[in-house]
Amino acid sequence: MKSCVIIPARFKSTRFPGKPLVPLLGKPMILWVAELSAIAVGISNVHIATEDNRIKEVVEKSGFNVIMTSEGALTGTDRLAEASDKVKADIYINVQGDEPLVDPKDIINIRDNKIKNINSIINGFCWISKEEDPKNTNIPKLITNERNELIYMSRLAIPGFKNDKFRPSKYKKQVCIYAFTKEELDAFRKFGRKSILEQLEDIELLRFLELNKKILMIETKSGSLAIDVPKDIPNVENALRNR
Protein backbone atom coordinates (compact mmCIF):
# COMPACT_ATOMS: atom_id res chain seq x y z
CA MET A 1 0.00 0.00 0.00
CA LYS A 2 1.32 3.45 -0.89
CA SER A 3 1.76 5.77 2.06
CA CYS A 4 2.89 9.35 2.36
CA VAL A 5 3.54 11.91 5.07
CA ILE A 6 1.82 15.26 4.89
CA ILE A 7 3.01 17.88 7.38
CA PRO A 8 0.50 20.69 7.95
CA ALA A 9 2.41 23.92 8.51
CA ARG A 10 0.37 27.05 9.20
CA PHE A 11 2.26 30.32 9.50
CA LYS A 12 -0.56 32.26 11.18
CA SER A 13 -0.69 30.24 14.39
CA THR A 14 -2.79 31.96 17.05
CA ARG A 15 -0.51 31.12 19.98
CA PHE A 16 2.80 31.30 18.08
CA PRO A 17 2.78 33.09 14.70
CA GLY A 18 5.51 31.85 12.36
CA LYS A 19 6.08 28.74 14.46
CA PRO A 20 7.07 26.39 11.57
CA LEU A 21 10.04 28.64 10.76
CA VAL A 22 11.31 29.14 14.31
CA PRO A 23 15.03 28.21 14.34
CA LEU A 24 16.05 25.26 16.49
CA LEU A 25 19.83 25.03 16.76
CA GLY A 26 19.91 27.20 13.64
CA LYS A 27 17.53 25.10 11.49
CA PRO A 28 13.84 25.95 10.91
CA MET A 29 11.60 23.59 12.89
CA ILE A 30 9.67 22.46 9.81
CA LEU A 31 12.90 21.09 8.31
CA TRP A 32 13.66 19.02 11.41
CA VAL A 33 10.24 17.39 11.06
CA ALA A 34 10.48 16.96 7.28
CA GLU A 35 13.94 15.39 7.41
CA LEU A 36 12.92 12.89 10.09
CA SER A 37 9.77 12.04 8.12
CA ALA A 38 11.91 11.45 5.02
CA ILE A 39 13.95 8.87 6.92
CA ALA A 40 10.70 6.96 7.48
CA VAL A 41 9.04 7.16 4.05
CA GLY A 42 11.57 8.71 1.65
CA ILE A 43 11.84 12.36 0.64
CA SER A 44 9.60 11.93 -2.43
CA ASN A 45 6.76 10.81 -0.15
CA VAL A 46 6.98 13.81 2.20
CA HIS A 47 4.78 16.83 1.49
CA ILE A 48 4.41 20.08 3.42
CA ALA A 49 0.90 21.56 3.28
CA THR A 50 0.94 25.29 3.94
CA GLU A 51 -0.88 28.52 3.19
CA ASP A 52 2.22 30.70 3.30
CA ASN A 53 4.87 31.43 0.66
CA ARG A 54 7.57 31.97 3.31
CA ILE A 55 7.24 28.36 4.41
CA LYS A 56 7.01 27.24 0.78
CA GLU A 57 10.32 28.91 -0.10
CA VAL A 58 12.19 27.38 2.87
CA VAL A 59 11.06 23.79 2.32
CA GLU A 60 11.38 23.85 -1.48
CA LYS A 61 14.93 25.16 -1.14
CA SER A 62 15.70 22.04 0.90
CA GLY A 63 14.21 19.74 -1.73
CA PHE A 64 10.80 18.96 -0.20
CA ASN A 65 7.42 18.87 -1.92
CA VAL A 66 4.97 21.65 -1.10
CA ILE A 67 1.19 21.67 -1.44
CA MET A 68 -0.39 25.11 -1.21
CA THR A 69 -3.66 25.05 0.71
CA SER A 70 -6.27 27.63 1.65
CA GLU A 71 -5.95 30.03 4.56
CA GLY A 72 -9.36 28.99 5.88
CA ALA A 73 -8.56 25.41 6.93
CA LEU A 74 -10.13 24.87 10.36
CA THR A 75 -7.42 22.53 11.66
CA GLY A 76 -4.28 20.74 10.59
CA THR A 77 -6.35 17.68 9.69
CA ASP A 78 -8.63 19.82 7.52
CA ARG A 79 -5.49 21.11 5.79
CA LEU A 80 -4.31 17.52 5.37
CA ALA A 81 -7.68 16.55 3.88
CA GLU A 82 -7.44 19.42 1.40
CA ALA A 83 -3.88 18.45 0.46
CA SER A 84 -4.90 14.80 -0.03
CA ASP A 85 -6.85 15.85 -3.12
CA LYS A 86 -3.48 16.51 -4.76
CA VAL A 87 -1.56 13.43 -3.60
CA LYS A 88 -2.64 9.88 -4.43
CA ALA A 89 -1.97 7.37 -1.65
CA ASP A 90 -3.63 4.58 0.31
CA ILE A 91 -2.49 5.87 3.69
CA TYR A 92 -1.96 9.50 4.66
CA ILE A 93 0.23 10.07 7.70
CA ASN A 94 -0.12 13.40 9.45
CA VAL A 95 3.07 14.37 11.26
CA GLN A 96 2.57 17.65 13.08
CA GLY A 97 5.07 20.34 12.18
CA ASP A 98 5.76 21.17 15.84
CA GLU A 99 7.16 17.70 16.69
CA PRO A 100 10.89 18.13 15.89
CA LEU A 101 11.81 15.12 18.06
CA VAL A 102 9.57 12.69 16.20
CA ASP A 103 11.16 9.25 15.82
CA PRO A 104 11.08 7.86 12.24
CA LYS A 105 10.53 4.38 13.70
CA ASP A 106 7.31 5.65 15.30
CA ILE A 107 6.10 6.96 11.94
CA ILE A 108 6.75 3.55 10.41
CA ASN A 109 5.00 1.82 13.33
CA ILE A 110 1.94 4.05 12.99
CA ARG A 111 1.83 3.29 9.26
CA ASP A 112 2.18 -0.46 9.80
CA ASN A 113 -0.59 -0.47 12.39
CA LYS A 114 -2.83 1.40 9.94
CA ILE A 115 -2.21 -1.30 7.34
CA LYS A 116 -3.24 -3.94 9.91
CA ASN A 117 -6.24 -1.91 11.13
CA ILE A 118 -7.33 -0.11 7.98
CA ASN A 119 -10.78 0.77 9.34
CA SER A 120 -9.44 2.51 12.46
CA ILE A 121 -7.84 5.92 12.86
CA ILE A 122 -4.32 5.44 14.24
CA ASN A 123 -2.75 7.94 16.63
CA GLY A 124 0.34 7.88 18.82
CA PHE A 125 0.73 8.32 22.56
CA CYS A 126 3.44 8.15 25.18
CA TRP A 127 3.59 8.53 28.94
CA ILE A 128 4.04 12.00 30.42
CA SER A 129 7.52 12.40 31.89
CA LYS A 130 8.24 13.43 35.46
CA GLU A 131 9.38 16.83 34.17
CA GLU A 132 5.96 17.53 32.61
CA ASP A 133 2.88 18.74 34.44
CA PRO A 134 -0.33 16.79 33.69
CA LYS A 135 -2.26 19.99 34.49
CA ASN A 136 -0.55 21.84 31.62
CA THR A 137 -3.39 22.59 29.20
CA ASN A 138 -0.98 22.70 26.26
CA ILE A 139 -0.58 18.92 26.58
CA PRO A 140 -3.56 16.80 25.41
CA LYS A 141 -4.05 13.86 27.78
CA LEU A 142 -6.07 10.77 26.95
CA ILE A 143 -7.77 7.71 28.32
CA THR A 144 -8.19 4.42 26.51
CA ASN A 145 -9.89 1.14 27.19
CA GLU A 146 -7.81 -1.97 27.81
CA ARG A 147 -7.55 -2.53 24.04
CA ASN A 148 -5.87 0.89 23.63
CA GLU A 149 -8.91 2.29 21.84
CA LEU A 150 -9.45 5.98 22.55
CA ILE A 151 -12.27 6.81 24.95
CA TYR A 152 -11.57 10.52 25.31
CA MET A 153 -8.84 13.15 25.01
CA SER A 154 -8.72 16.33 27.09
CA ARG A 155 -6.66 19.33 28.11
CA LEU A 156 -7.45 18.33 31.69
CA ALA A 157 -5.52 15.68 33.61
CA ILE A 158 -7.48 12.50 32.92
CA PRO A 159 -8.41 9.96 34.20
CA GLY A 160 -9.87 11.60 37.26
CA PHE A 161 -10.29 9.95 40.66
CA LYS A 162 -12.56 10.19 43.69
CA ASN A 163 -10.47 8.38 46.27
CA ASP A 164 -6.89 9.59 46.63
CA LYS A 165 -5.60 6.01 46.84
CA PHE A 166 -6.66 5.60 43.19
CA ARG A 167 -4.79 8.69 41.99
CA PRO A 168 -3.12 7.79 38.65
CA SER A 169 0.62 7.23 38.93
CA LYS A 170 1.13 8.29 35.32
CA TYR A 171 -0.76 9.84 32.42
CA LYS A 172 -0.91 9.21 28.71
CA LYS A 173 -0.35 12.14 26.36
CA GLN A 174 -0.98 12.45 22.65
CA VAL A 175 1.89 12.24 20.19
CA CYS A 176 0.82 13.97 17.00
CA ILE A 177 1.38 11.27 14.43
CA TYR A 178 -1.87 10.12 12.80
CA ALA A 179 -2.73 7.74 9.95
CA PHE A 180 -5.87 8.03 7.80
CA THR A 181 -7.39 6.79 4.57
CA LYS A 182 -8.66 9.22 1.96
CA GLU A 183 -12.25 8.34 2.88
CA GLU A 184 -11.64 9.19 6.54
CA LEU A 185 -10.10 12.54 5.64
CA ASP A 186 -12.97 13.39 3.30
CA ALA A 187 -15.54 12.55 5.99
CA PHE A 188 -13.67 14.74 8.49
CA ARG A 189 -13.69 17.73 6.15
CA LYS A 190 -17.29 17.21 5.04
CA PHE A 191 -18.42 17.49 8.66
CA GLY A 192 -18.06 21.16 7.84
CA ARG A 193 -17.33 22.58 11.28
CA LYS A 194 -15.59 21.86 14.53
CA SER A 195 -17.62 19.52 16.73
CA ILE A 196 -18.74 20.83 20.12
CA LEU A 197 -16.16 18.83 22.07
CA GLU A 198 -13.47 19.62 19.52
CA GLN A 199 -14.18 23.32 19.92
CA LEU A 200 -14.18 23.16 23.72
CA GLU A 201 -10.98 21.14 24.06
CA ASP A 202 -9.26 22.47 20.92
CA ILE A 203 -8.38 18.89 19.97
CA GLU A 204 -9.26 18.10 16.37
CA LEU A 205 -9.18 14.31 16.74
CA LEU A 206 -12.37 14.50 18.80
CA ARG A 207 -14.32 15.24 15.61
CA PHE A 208 -13.85 11.61 14.60
CA LEU A 209 -15.87 10.53 17.66
CA GLU A 210 -18.88 12.28 16.10
CA LEU A 211 -18.24 10.24 12.96
CA ASN A 212 -18.29 7.00 15.00
CA LYS A 213 -14.73 6.17 14.04
CA LYS A 214 -12.66 3.85 16.19
CA ILE A 215 -9.34 5.45 17.17
CA LEU A 216 -6.54 3.06 18.05
CA MET A 217 -3.74 4.54 20.16
CA ILE A 218 -0.23 3.18 19.53
CA GLU A 219 2.53 3.70 22.08
CA THR A 220 5.56 5.58 20.77
CA LYS A 221 9.03 6.28 22.05
CA SER A 222 9.05 8.30 25.26
CA GLY A 223 10.48 11.79 25.41
CA SER A 224 8.29 13.40 22.77
CA LEU A 225 8.28 17.19 23.16
CA ALA A 226 6.22 19.52 21.00
CA ILE A 227 6.61 23.28 20.68
CA ASP A 228 3.30 24.92 21.55
CA VAL A 229 4.54 28.31 22.77
CA PRO A 230 7.93 30.13 22.67
CA LYS A 231 8.89 29.06 26.20
CA ASP A 232 9.02 25.43 24.97
CA ILE A 233 12.01 26.16 22.70
CA PRO A 234 14.89 25.81 25.25
CA ASN A 235 13.73 22.37 26.42
CA VAL A 236 13.37 21.12 22.85
CA GLU A 237 16.78 22.48 21.84
CA ASN A 238 18.36 20.76 24.84
CA ALA A 239 16.69 17.50 23.82
CA LEU A 240 17.96 17.92 20.25
CA ARG A 241 21.49 18.47 21.52
CA ASN A 242 21.32 15.33 23.65
CA ARG A 243 19.84 13.14 20.93
Going from the C-alpha of 78 to that of each of 8, 127, 233, the distances in angstroms are: 9, 27, 26
Read off the pLDDT of each residue in 182-190 and give the average, rounded to a whole number.
98
pLDDT over 90 (residue 79): yes
* Nearest C-alpha neighbor of 177 from the set 27, 76, 71: 76
pLDDT over 90 (residue 123): yes
**Residue 5 pLDDT:** 98
The per-residue pLDDT of the chain, averaged, comes to: 95
Q: What number does CATH give the domain 3-242? A: 3.90.550.10
pLDDT over 80 (residue 50): yes
Residue type present at position 154: S
pLDDT over 80 (residue 136): yes
Read off the pLDDT of each residue in 138-153 and give the average, rounded to a whole number.
97
CA–CA dist 6, 80 (Å, integer): 7
**Residue 222 pLDDT:** 85
